[in-house]
Amino acid sequence: MEKSSSPQPGQSLASSISNSGPISILAYCLSSILMTVTNKYVLSGFSFNLNFFLLAVQSIVCIVTIGSLKSVGIITYRQFNKDEAKKWSPIAFLLVAMIYTGSKAIQYLSIPVYTIFKNLTIILIAYGEVLWFGGKVTSMALSSFLLMVFSSMIAYYGDNAAVRSQDDEFTLYLGYFWMLVNCFASASFVLIMRKRIKLTNFKDFDTMYYNNLLAIPILLISSLVFEDWSSENIAVNFPSDNRVTTISAMILSGVSSVGISYCSAWCVRVTSSTTYSMVGALNKLPIALTGLIFFDAVVNFWSVSSIFVGFIAGLVYAIAKQKQQREQQSLPGK
């Protein structure tokens, strides 16, 4: 006769949290905000210029974290394989390009402007899917793209209105340059990784493991070659009065990057990919507002308007994707 085992109170609580849609959504939003804010704090707060090193620390923290979780049996991912690593290495280079250009963009741009211009990546990915995967851009999705471009134009106008000197103008355009490169690097990374995942059948933690493990040597070598490791520059990057705070923020940003990856998969698992895309659209508003509250971002009619137009653009895009998904499911044979 089999014994009926009733769940322990701790187990039932853990299970209810693990399968809770609202909690997964809240966790994703908080981890996304935390990483954006900590990156901005490190990169803009104390004349920090060791961007490659910061990104290497984040990848190392990610590997240590998921390795620890695997050792205690919480997660699992495939063992390292040289052949798979060789095939995945181009994606690791694209990842480095994406996160480095993103770190440079957020160093020179405010969080609201960075968040708004990041929307333009969605347009590049959508048309890349049309070319590579036979995707389709609906009229509603096209409308959201136009709103994204419009919100970026408003943000640009608002930033220009706040320019007070030639140095401000140079910093602004330098930020726009890195943002443009980041949009193309991000789209290339997402599209090529999607192709490779289909060939390798990688799961979420497999992707995290290979992405971060292969990125670490690239980032460390790039830091040693391209960044200034003189004692004077180290003193500038890690001033004695803020050294512990800066290092803690670097580690925290690494932990939050792990959190975003995990919470993304968690949110999709307990809700749906459509809900996840909707949350991503809604989350741009609190991220942008966080930049206005905690940092010296430009606050005027144009900057505030660009945030809300960008928010609406993301919302329209999420609804367009939801509608497109329903239409595909209603087709014969689906």
- Asked whether residue 306 is domain-assigned, the answer is no
Any idea which of 148-157, 264-273, 311-320 has the lowest mean pLDDT? Answer: 264-273
197 near 27, Cβ under 8 Å? no
- Asked whether residue 264 is domain-assigned, the answer is yes
User: CB atoms < 10 A from the CB of 210, how many?
Assistant: 25
Q: Rounded distance, CA 25 to CA 287, Å?
A: 14
What are 99-126's pLDDT values in tens digits?
A: 899 888 888 887 778 877 887 887 888 8
Q: How many helices (H) and strands (E) does the chain have?
A: 13, 0
Instruction: For residues 205-221, give the mean pLDDT.
Output: 90
- Asked whether residue 308 is domain-assigned, the answer is no
Number of domains in the chain: 1
- Asked whether residue 33 is domain-assigned, the answer is yes
- Asked whether residue 147 is domain-assigned, the answer is no
- Asked whether residue 177 is domain-assigned, the answer is yes
Residues of the domain holding 62:
23-137+164-274
Q: Find the helix packing angle between 82-108 and 21-45, rounded to 10°.
A: 70
284 near 311, Cβ under 8 Å? yes
- Asked whether residue 64 is domain-assigned, the answer is yes
Amino acid residing at 48: F
pTM for the model stands at: 0.76
- Asked whether residue 79 is domain-assigned, the answer is yes
What are 67-105's pLDDT values in tens digits?
A: 998 999 888 888 999 998 998 899 889 989 988 998 888
